[in-house]
Amino acid sequence: MFCTAMLFATSPVLAQFGSDEPPGVLVSEATVESFPLAVEALGNATANEAVSIRPVITATLTSIHFEEGQSVEAGTVLARLENVEPLAEVAGAKAAFVETETQYKRLAELYKTQAVSQSQLQQLEAQLEANRAAVAAAEARLAHTVVEAPFAGRLGLRRVSVGSLVGPDTVITTLDDTSVIKLDFDVPEVFLARLEPGLEVTARSAAYPDQSFRGVVASVDSRVDPVSRSVSVRATVDNEDGHLRAGMFLTVTLLKQDIQALVVPEQAIVPEQSKQYVWLVGEGDIAELREVRTGRRRPGQVEILDGLAVGDRVITEGTQKARAGEPVTVLGHAP
């Protein structure tokens, strides 16, 4: 009985019950500390340009002029289709054009002597232009029998064989320009103000654990995802050595800076709806509830962007007992 009474009397916190003593609290000072800024995200690699090579027309594949995995230049012939009918169409169209052109020249000479009317000459001139267009159309159809690389890059696997009937739905092979890799990743919207084209990024792949790939931010999306509260960012990474492939999964690091920031213990933050507050112990140990604007977080600490100054004392334990404008008893500093 005596021991229990002694413990009750000597405990500074318990002694406040039943008395008019101000509530006891533990405080911590707002301090400036090194708070390195580094944003890490997971990104997907895509080729700078990528296309599935398909024929424009339906015809029989007569020859293939590439090897799987081959690097090609723009305009390189990749395959040829059966062209007997298109060649015949070109020949017929050209013959009709030559005949009409000869008639037009003869009629133009007669028109000078007024042997034919102007309307007859204009009618033949229209026919000449129609035949000229027919030649161009036939030559275009003939050109479609030759499949070419639209840009420089590396070819993928061959999907067809000579003799196959191919059409617009048939993939002959794939072509990827991976000299530059596009790297797409999402960044929390809190970093939006720091994102801009030209910002350096570093990427790493599990396939090359001892190598890092450097690039720059090329563009930032114009919209923030309302669900994830993040914004999509696209960076470009030089890939002349060809190590990176489209579809690879990479870890991206950007905004890596050593920044000094004003921080307080995480337990000092008192959230209320969408706002953040702290209990501040001012002169005369008077409690004050103050709204603050928070930034980044790390285990045990929160960055304060606005609302506090260096040295301000904030309550870390006992916030539930504090009342605005009333005194508190500072029992010590939080560890």
Q: What is the mean pLDDT of each run of 10 residues along the chain (335 residues)?
A: 37 45 91 85 94 96 95 96 95 94 86 81 89 95 96 95 96 95 93 88 92 94 92 94 91 84 93 91 92 89 93 92 90 81
Q: Which two tokens stand for residue 83?
A: 């062209």
Identify the pLDDT of residue 175. Answer: 96
Environment class of 56 (CB within 10 Å of its CB; exposed 0-12, middle 13-18, buried 19+): middle
20-34+260-333: which CATH topology? 2.40.420
Identify the pLDDT of residue 11. Answer: 39
Domain locations along the chain: 20-34+260-333, 38-49+177-257, 83-144
Identify the pLDDT of residue 15. Answer: 41
Which residues lie below 8 Å from residue 317, measured CB to CB, with a gap of 6+?
Answer: 25, 26, 267, 334
| DSSP structural state of residue 22 | P
Q: Which CATH number fits domain 83-144: 1.10.287.470, 3.40.50.720, 3.20.20.100, 1.20.120.520?
A: 1.10.287.470
> Is the pTM above the cut of 0.85?
no
Q: Residues 87, 159: contact at Cβ < 8 Å?
A: no
- Return the closest-CA partner of residue 47 out of 308, 307, 237: 237
Q: Residues 9, 315: contact at Cβ < 8 Å?
A: no
* Homologous superfamily of domain range 38-49+177-257: Efflux pump adaptor protein, beta barrel domain (2.40.30.170)
Q: Residues 312, 318: contact at Cβ < 8 Å?
A: no
Distance between CA atoms of 50 and 45, rounded to whole angstroms?
A: 12
One fold for 38-49+177-257 and 83-144: no
DSSP E strands in 54-206: the ranges are 59-64, 71-72, 77-81, 146-148, 153-155, 165-166, 173-188, 200-205
Sign of CA dihedral 125, 128, 130, 133: negative
Distance between CA atoms of 117 and 191, rounded to whole angstroms?
A: 78
